[in-house]
Structure 1
Amino acid sequence: MAHKKNRMTLLLGVLLALPLAALAKVTPEEAAQLGTTLTPIGAEKAGNAAGTIPAWDGGLPQKEMKRSDNPYAADKPLYTITAANYKQYSAQLTEGYKALFQTFPDYKMIVYPTHRSASYPQWFYDATKKNATGVELNDNGYGFCCAAQGYPFPIPKNGTELMWNHILRYNTKGYRGYVNAAETQPDGSYVLERAYGEITFIYNNPKTTVDTLKNQNLYAMVKTLAPPNKAGTADLLHVPVDRIKEQTGVWEFNPALGRVRRIGEVGYDNPLFDGLMTHDQLDMFNGPFDRYTVKLIGKKEMLVPYNDYVLYSDKLKYKDIIRGGHINQDLARYELHRVWVMEADLKPGFSHIYKKRVFYLDEDSWLVLAQDIYDNRDQFWRFAEAHAITFANVPVVVNGVQVHYDLQSRRYVAVNLFNEEPQQVEYDWEQPPSYFTPQQLQKFATAGK
């Protein structure tokens, strides 16, 4: 059962429902800060007092970018953190990074100058500012009213609103393309899973209105192409915004049976990628949160993966990235950024293999860039990181390449790799909802892609 659900993971990670936390409406005076002291999406516009985090100046301007382009290729490292000196940087490291240094003597983090590169279309900024005073949580936090574009909560008051920003961030009207995941063994050997997917977003499509949203977030189809024992399987998803009001529709095509059947919604701690991830770790976190008590800690300056264009380069092979225990850290770039920190603790009487999780969300994009995970013995267990970059030609900020570490087994899975694919993922691709049907799924699964 676990391997069946892997095929839904490579391009997807967008299923979320969140519980309600303490409510406090944004005042008009607070909303007026957007675009002045705050960026258009709610980050602090100013840099930090030490000068190690610059002011946001609009991010990367929209321009043409070739696949191999790296706007920060000329940067020189500021310093390198190793197992010998990591304690002096402890205040800026997640527990996951500390665990990696303690587990692997050769682990290192190469730290570069900070660039606040995140940028979005102007219409998206305008929609976000409108949302600041016009959007409220409803249905106990599992839904909200009233928005169809933009970050719903640019000035969040609780952890629920914070995570809604992550899940409903801008991903363009949709995308299609090929991606890969590498399931590793401790010695660095790995199995590569390749998939092709097509996704259309309803929320954040400029044509969508509050009336036409109809509680739909996205529609998606994805099929597995490799390895041979999984090839040919495909899934269709109809993903609502409010998953309590309406359940996610999931259909699968089984090549052995030659037909499509509807299956129940999957989530929580169902295992993925040989058990190295859970279903709710897709996209770093996708919910639901109803088994957890959520606590918003606040904002901190932390070292996180950022602007790592090298990891996306078509000059690399997957074997260049994958190493025993952890990815090739010579290819990884880290910067100092302000991030929102929130904790999720398992509620008494509820079941999940993760008892506690700590999330770190980028202030400039609302992306979850890192996650610390503890088991039911209160022992540190797993860590996940997302290597965010801005595609200035779209423009869009993505957290594509993600690495999910299991520190106890010394294994990991790296997802959303496409270095060896001849074509990049195509953004702003879309099809109407009528395209995403069980009948179309069978055609999609058997087509020659």
Structure 2
Amino acid sequence: MIAPYLKSAGALLVLGLATGMATDLVVGAALAQDLKSGTLTPIGAERAANKDGTIPAWDGKPVNTPPGAGNKRPDPFAAEKPVLSITAANMAQHAEKLTDGTKALLAKWPGMRVDVYPTHRSAVFAQAIYDAVAQNATRAKLTNNGLTVEGAYGGIPFPVPKNGHEALWNHMLSYRGQLTTFTADKYVMTSGGDRVLTNRQRTSLAYPYYDPKGKPDAFSGEWARARLDVTEPPANAGQAMMTIDYVDNYARPKDGWQYVPGQRRVRKSPSLVYDTPDPSAAGVANFDDVNLFIGAQDRYNVKLVGKREIYVPYNNNGLFRKPVNDVIGRGTLNPDAVRWELHRVWVLEATLREGKRNVAAKRRLYLDEDTWQAVLADSWDAQGKLWKTGQAFTLLAGDEPSASTLSYTWHDLLSGGWVYAGAINETGGVAYQDFDSKQLNRFTSSALASGGVR
């Protein structure tokens, strides 16, 4: 992917070589210029439509989604009808645009369907983010064998990734707001069709990495804080948790603290990283399955396979507005509730490093080129069997402006159980605020005790 910039930046390269300037800096400068006015969007996606016209060109215009009561945003494409429906009966005709996990769900569950709608490249972000990405193109780098990001701030670090680790950091550092709050449910479903609300929590997310007053040379390395206050079910009400994520998470794994009402004290949490099971997901998802992947990459070699055009869940404001009874079906989400579109995605393949362990021996992640966020994921077990598949659903907030995944599912293809996490169907919408360093006082271990009570 770097070669086009070597070719297109001829004058800059000659100047760079003549003056002894490092080639990567020259390439970075050419890339930064292309992000502003060339063939790439400001975060590194292809501006142009695909050759068939089924993926339109990116125009950079935000879609109107005014937050209504409870910050519920409307579905701007509610009037559209599917242009294609894929089932187990016809999926062979569309196999090249389907992931292994999607095909497995179609084959396993009668009634599962992929309804494909017209594609809208609705992901638009603030100019300040675009400016930061252009600067990151010339200053961001990976150290510690690709495990630590340095020099990046305020936007995805690698708009044209050279390897899988760079692309995976783009996913984790993609824009999800500065201060984001919502209340969400987590449902676990059995293969027999039973549904259990395992968790309802007020979620508050702070992203110091996107503090507009910050600077890369003064950045502490702490890119996100999360506070989770459990309100249901009654047996767990009053529990609270706070976590911190770092850009050098290989050296500094995720920190976490938990408040348990019965003990009336805050304790340092046990491991919240890697494949530690999430108790509220009943074994279907682990802590590194949040947003389809989060955490340190040191247990995997991550390969950048390339780009594909595939059908992915996208522009799912309509999904979030439906009652949960209309959303959760047998084995999968109700196909009537989920919107799929054809998008270009980066394909990453992660395989275990020698001497390392994780219950997912291999992962494949599909990153949307317009947001850099994983929208689909597949995992294989140690025996090489396709074990789990995940789907993430994009909330469009043109008023922010942003487009980011919020709810997600993980399906155990072997047991038939599955989990629907981050569900805001019954709880309201998402509130976005500008970053305020004073707000970080709520994201401390000492603040848990005062807020996490029955």
Name the TM-score, length of structure 1 as normaliser. 0.90
Check whether the contact 2:363–2:377 (CA below 8 A) recurs between aligned residues: yes
Match of 1:235 in 2: 241
Post-superposition Cα deviations, 1:234-286, rounded to whole Å, max 9, x if no partner, equal 11222222113334321111111111112344211111210011111011100
Structure 1 residues 12-411: aligned runs within 5 Å: 26-35=27-36, 36-61=38-63, 64-66=66-68, 67=72, 69-192=74-197, 193-272=199-278, 273-313=281-321, 316-411=322-417
Which runs of no fewer than 5 residues in structure 1 stay unpaired? 1-22
Asked if residue 440 in structure 1 is aligned to residue 447 in structure 2, the reply is: yes
Deviation, structure 1 residue 59 = 4.1
Match of 1:427 in 2: 432
Match of 2:9 in 1: none
Match of 1:6 in 2: none
* Structure 2 Cα separation of the partners of residues 388 and 146 of structure 1: 28
Residue range with higher mean Cα deviation, 360-369 or 288-297: 288-297
Match of 1:10 in 2: none
SS in 1 for 2:180: strand
Post-superposition Cα deviations, 1:80-123, rounded to whole Å, max 9, x if no partner, equal 00110000000000000110111112211101111100000011
Q: Higher relative contact order by CA 8 Å / sep ≥ 6: 1 or 2?
A: 1
* Structure 1 Cα separation of the partners of residues 441 and 144 of structure 2: 28
Check whether the contact 2:313–2:338 (CA below 8 A) recurs between aligned residues: yes
SS in 1 for 2:274: coil
Check whether the contact 1:311–1:401 (CA below 8 A) recurs between aligned residues: no
SS in 2 for 1:176: strand
Post-superposition Cα deviations, 1:156-215, rounded to whole Å, max 9, x if no partner, equal 111111011111111222112211111111232211120012222100111111233211
Q: CA RMSD in A?
A: 1.8
Which runs of no fewer than 5 residues in structure 2 stay unpaired? 1-22
Match of 2:19 in 1: none
Name the TM-score, length of structure 2 as normaliser. 0.89
Deviation, structure 1 residue 432 = 3.8
Post-superposition Cα deviations, 1:354-406, rounded to whole Å, max 9, x if no partner, equal 11111100000001000011111111111001111321111121211211111
* Structure 2 Cα separation of the partners of residues 264 and 284 of structure 1: 21
* Structure 2 Cα separation of the partners of residues 220 and 333 of structure 1: 29
Cα 1:433/1:420, change in 2 over 3 Å: closer
**If each structure's helix is expressed as a fraction of its own residues, which one has the higher value?**
2
Structure number, greater radius of gyration:
2
Cα 1:420/1:263, change in 2 over 3 Å: closer
Q: What is the one-letter code of the residue matched to 2:96?
A: A
* Structure 1 Cα separation of the partners of residues 158 and 149 of structure 2: 10
SS in 2 for 1:441: helix
Cα 1:246/1:373, change in 2 over 3 Å: closer
Cα 1:376/1:143, change in 2 over 3 Å: same
SS in 2 for 1:276: coil
* Structure 1 Cα separation of the partners of residues 297 and 396 of structure 2: 28
